[in-house]
């Protein structure tokens, strides 16, 4: 026989008795409160009309109320962020445990070795190992530079390793993304760089057509890939490499190296004329060496990005390191945004984003988030995600900015006149100069008025040797080596000739800076709203910079109750 649940019904006598006891208890509580003298707070009568400085007092009271509201919102934001962070960590742990259990059941000794290899594929040491492999196998090394900041894309450690390697190894510079820079600026950089290494002007295709693209185009006639699939400079580069191969009387291998998001894989796709390598806006898409056959005499090797050294400036780490914007700390992203904006003209940044004057990076991101409608619950600007979007814009091809070459030509210490002559030997420099001139003329350049002037931080130090890599030493280099397996890179080939197929070888504290609300009537309007900024190159003073860098959304929940919001401070 099944057991029935006990009924919750009561007899009327018992129910009335309980209600009577409750009434007696409430009566007793009211009596005790009356004896203690705790009465309801009287309504504030306000400031009398005859009181002196009435308007000033009211204004100060309103200010204090606003500050309390802002503090409330910030603390609420911190609590929400902390809850989200805990939820993500728990979800990650659960997923890792489930995966470990699944792997433990099916794994043998062989599969375990394979899994370990896949897990390490995303690490910095793996990137350095693959990069070294490319450098050793290459006869000619192409160092790809972003035309918007060529000096910031140069790696002295890489150049020294190639020039002093021996074995008649050559180094060429490829100035990519020239369509994002004014024409005269491109010519200045070509004249500057060609005095050190042979330099090729290039505009790569950001999206190559393949079978998938053709299907999309057939279905939707509006899709237009004309601008993204255009490329210039590939004929000049290919001709230069083929002529050099003939002088060597052997098949040559060309390695393509550079920092993240400079367009290494896009250049290979443009030279090949079809999509041979995976490309994307995310940094670190290429994780291993890939061999692409251009013709019978020329192979081109794609490589992972150079790892930026943690000792670099905040600007170099923001633009040149392999970071995951989804997993990186909001304080690091804000520091990167601060460094970028400090190296630009404030007026030009305001005109480009079409926003009013701002005090600091936090204010800039808040205004931009409101303008683009990136708001959280309650209309609070989503500063964290806005910062990640802005950083992606600056590392991608959305923002048109340019930097000026140095005033005087000072080659690095490792680059002597003899080394410069060795690097130029075997190349037809006259044909190269003519090809660069044709490329620059063919590309449509933006006007200087529509571009942002950028102050370069100089060369970026990189880590070439695997032994010098510190996996967790860099703020910006925190690559997530989670236990999620990396999907193998798949290449879609539309060409039927199997001989030239692609081969694959293998954010802290916020409340610390919030000042306590003054209980008296001594506060004044914020002085920062009345004073402007005079220096356009350096936007923020030292105090404001430190205040903005310390801004973070990660705050423990137990520190959020600095104020009792039930108290009326007015």
State the pLDDT at residue 145: 92
Q: How far is CA 65 from CA 29, 60, 72, 380, 552, in A?
A: 34, 9, 11, 18, 23
Is there a single domain that holds both residue 290 and residue 355?
A: no
Q: Where in the sequence is the domain holding 139, given as residue range(s)?
A: 119-209+225-309+406-445+458-463
Lowest mean pLDDT among 208-222, 287-301, 343-357: 208-222
State the pLDDT at residue 284: 63
Indicate which CATH number applies to the domain containing 290. 3.40.50.300
What's the pTM value of the predicted model, to 2 decimals?
A: 0.59
Residue 44, domain member (yes or no): no
The strand pair at 290-295 and 502-504 is best described as antiparallel
State the pLDDT at residue 501: 44
Residue 484, domain member (yes or no): no
Residue 304, domain member (yes or no): yes
Residue 329, domain member (yes or no): yes
Residue 6, domain member (yes or no): no
Residue 504, domain member (yes or no): no
Is there a single domain that holds both residue 365 and residue 426?
A: no
Residues 427-475 have pLDDT tens digits of 888 888 888 899 888 888 888 888 888 888 888 888 877 666 665 443 3
Pick the residue with more confidence: 365 or 492?
365
Q: How confident is the model at residue 288 (pLDDT cuts 50, 70, 90)?
A: confident
**What percent of the chain has a predicted confidence (pLDDT) above 90?**
17
Question: Is the model's pLDDT at 318 over the cut of 70?
Answer: yes
Residues 196-241 have pLDDT tens digits of 899 999 888 776 555 444 434 444 444 444 556 677 888 888 888 8
Q: How confident is the model at residue 63 (pLDDT cuts 50, 70, 90)?
A: very high
CB 507, CB 554: distance < 8 Å: yes
Residue 100, domain member (yes or no): no
Question: Is the model's pLDDT at 500 over the cut of 50?
Answer: no
CB 496, CB 353: distance < 8 Å: no
Question: Of the residues 463, 490, 512, which one is the last residue of a structural domain?
Answer: 463
DSSP symbol at 498: G
Is there a single domain that holds both residue 343 and residue 294?
A: no
State the CB neighbour count (10 A cutoff) for residue 386. Answer: 22
Take residue 320 and report the two structure tokens written for it: 């040149």
Placement of tokens 């990189």 in the chain: 462
Report the domain count for the chain: 2
Q: How confident is the model at residue 515 (pLDDT cuts 50, 70, 90)?
A: very low
Task: Output the CA angle 234-237-240, nearest 5 degrees.
Answer: 145
State the pLDDT at residue 23: 97
Is there a single domain that holds both residue 294 and residue 187?
A: yes
Question: Is the model's pLDDT at 20 over the cut of 90?
Answer: yes
* Mean pLDDT within 365-372: 91
Is there a single domain that holds both residue 326 and residue 271?
A: no
State the pLDDT at residue 317: 84
CB 144, CB 327: distance < 8 Å: no
Question: Is the model's pLDDT at 16 over the cut of 60?
Answer: yes
Is there a single domain that holds both residue 370 and residue 261?
A: no
Is there a single domain that holds both residue 391 and residue 415?
A: no
Return mean pLDDT, the chain. Answer: 75
Lowest mean pLDDT among 2-11, 33-42, 274-283, 516-525: 516-525
Question: Is the model's pLDDT at 528 over the cut of 90?
Answer: no
State the pLDDT at residue 213: 44
What's the CA gap between 123 and 478, in Å, rounded?
A: 9
- Give all strands of the β-sheet with 199-201 in edge-to-edge order: 199-201, 170-176, 140-146, 252-257, 298-302, 290-295, 502-504
Residues 136-163 have pLDDT tens digits of 888 899 999 999 999 999 999 998 888 8
Placement of tokens 């683009």 in the chain: 372
Is there a single domain that holds both residue 332 and residue 387?
A: yes
Q: How confident is the model at residue 484 (pLDDT cuts 50, 70, 90)?
A: very low
* Mean pLDDT within 97-118: 63
* Mean pLDDT within 342-363: 88
Is there a single domain that holds both residue 169 and residue 280?
A: yes
State the pLDDT at residue 106: 66
* Mean pLDDT within 549-570: 43
What's the CA gap between 82 and 95, in Å, rounded?
A: 20
Question: Is the model's pLDDT at 314 over the cut of 60?
Answer: yes
Is there a single domain that holds both residue 239 and residue 371?
A: no
Question: Is the model's pLDDT at 18 over the cut of 50?
Answer: yes
Question: Is the model's pLDDT at 514 over the cut of 50?
Answer: no
Residue 384, domain member (yes or no): yes
Question: Is the model's pLDDT at 291 over the cut of 50?
Answer: yes
Indicate which CATH number applies to the domain containing 332. 1.10.1580.10
Is there a single domain that holds both residue 242 and residue 277?
A: yes
CA dihedral 539, 542, 548, 551 (to 10 degrees): 170
């Amino acid at each position: 026989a099944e057991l029935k649940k006990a009924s919750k019904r009561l007899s009327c006598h018992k129910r009335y008795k309980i209600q009577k006891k409750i009434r007696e208890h409430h009566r007793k509580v009211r009596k005790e409160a009356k004896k203690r003298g705790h009465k309801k707070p009287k309504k504030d009568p306000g400031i009398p009309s005859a009181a002196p400085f009435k308007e000033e007092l009211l204004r100060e009271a309103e200010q204090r109320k606003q500050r309390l509201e802002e503090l409330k919102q910030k603390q609420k934001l911190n609590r929400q962020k902390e809850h989200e962070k805990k939820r993500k960590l728990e979800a990650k742990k659960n997923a890792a445990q489930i995966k470990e259990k699944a792997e433990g059941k099916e794994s043998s000794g062989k599969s375990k070795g394979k899994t370990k290899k896949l897990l390490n594929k995303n690490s910095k040491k793996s990137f350095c190992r693959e990069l070294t492999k490319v450098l050793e196998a290459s006869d000619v090394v192409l160092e790809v530079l972003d035309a918007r900041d060529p000096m910031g894309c140069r790696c002295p450690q890489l150049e020294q390793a190639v020039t002093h390697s021996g074995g008649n190894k050559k180094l060429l510079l490829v100035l990519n993304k020239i369509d994002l820079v004014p024409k005269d600026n491109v010519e200045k950089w070509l004249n500057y760089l060609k005095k050190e290494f042979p330099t090729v002007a290039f505009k790569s295709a950001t999206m190559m057509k393949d079978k998938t693209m053709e299907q999309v185009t057939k279905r939707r006639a509006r899709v237009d890939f004309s601008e993204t699939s255009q490329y210039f400079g590939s004929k000049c580069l290919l001709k230069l490499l083929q002529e050099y191969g003939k002088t060597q009387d052997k098949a040559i291998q060309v390695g393509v190296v550079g920092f993240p998001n400079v367009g290494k894989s896009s250049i290979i796709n443009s030279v090949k004329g079809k999509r041979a390598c995976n490309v994307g806006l995310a940094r670190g898409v290429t994780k291993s060496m890939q061999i692409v056959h251009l013709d019978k005499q020329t192979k081109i090797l794609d490589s992972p990005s150079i790892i930026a050294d943690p000792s670099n400036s905040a600007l170099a780490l923001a633009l040149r390191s392999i970071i995951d914007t989804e997993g990186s700390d909001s304080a690091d992203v804000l520091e990167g945004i601060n460094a970028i904006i400090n190296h630009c003209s404030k007026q030009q940044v305001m005109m480009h984003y079409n926003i009013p004057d701002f005090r600091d990076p936090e204010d800039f991101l808040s205004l931009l988030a409101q303008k683009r409608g990136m708001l959280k619950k309650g209309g609070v600007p989503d500063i964290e995600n806005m910062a990640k979007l802005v950083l992606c814009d600056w590392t991608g091809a959305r923002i048109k900015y340019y930097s000026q070459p140095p005033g005087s030509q000072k080659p690095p210490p490792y680059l002597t006149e003899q080394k410069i002559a060795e690097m130029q030997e075997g190349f037809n420099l006259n044909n190269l100069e003519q090809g660069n001139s044709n490329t620059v003329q063919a590309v449509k350049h933006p006007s200087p008025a529509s571009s942002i002037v950028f102050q370069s931080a100089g060369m970026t130090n990189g880590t070439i040797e695997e032994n010098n890599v510190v996996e967790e030493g860099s703020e910006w280099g925190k690559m997530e080596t989670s236990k999620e397996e990396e999907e193998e890179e798949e290449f879609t080939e539309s060409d039927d000739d199997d001989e030239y197929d692609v081969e694959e070888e293998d954010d802290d504290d916020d409340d610390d800076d919030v000042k306590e609300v003054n209980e008296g009537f001594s506060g004044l309007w914020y002085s920062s709203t009345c004073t402007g900024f005079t220096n356009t190159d350096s936007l923020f003073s030292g105090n404001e910079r430190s205040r903005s860098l310390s801004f973070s959304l990660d705050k423990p929940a137990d520190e959020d109750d600095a104020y009792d919001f039930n108290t009326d401070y007015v």
